[in-house]
Amino acid sequence: MSRVEIEGMIPQPRSRFLLVSCLSCGNKQVVFDSAKTVVRCAVCREVLAVPRGGKSKVLGKVVAVLT
Ligand SMILES: [Zn+2]
């Protein structure tokens, strides 16, 4: 099942910070929910999140949501 995202129609009241675990080395890193750039692991340079229409698509494992 796929989830359709309609950009620009759903108001996003605030951004969040996510604690993401790197799939390659297990490093945990805080990733901004609405980052405009590719976020890489500080340890092994694995890509943790990529920008996608104003929101980040997280490629690592989200272990916590920081509000
Ligand atoms: Zn890593």
| Centroid of ligand 1 to alpha carbon of 10 (angstroms) | 32
What is the spatial distance between Cα 27 and Cα 41, in angstroms, rounded to a whole number? 7
66 CB-near residues (< 8 Å, 6+ apart) = 16, 17, 18, 19, 30
Predicted pLDDT of residue 11: 58
1 in a structural domain: no
| Centroid of ligand 1 to alpha carbon of 59 (angstroms) | 12
Predicted pLDDT of residue 44: 98
10 in a structural domain: no
**33: closest CA among 51, 16, 50, 8?**
16
| Centroid of ligand 1 to alpha carbon of 57 (angstroms) | 17
| Centroid of ligand 1 to alpha carbon of 22 (angstroms) | 5
| Centroid of ligand 1 to alpha carbon of 37 (angstroms) | 17
pTM as predicted: 0.75
Give the total number of structural domains in the chain: 1
Q: What is the CATH number of the domain that holds 37?
A: 2.20.25.100
pLDDT in tens, 34-65: 989 999 999 999 999 999 988 899 999 999 99
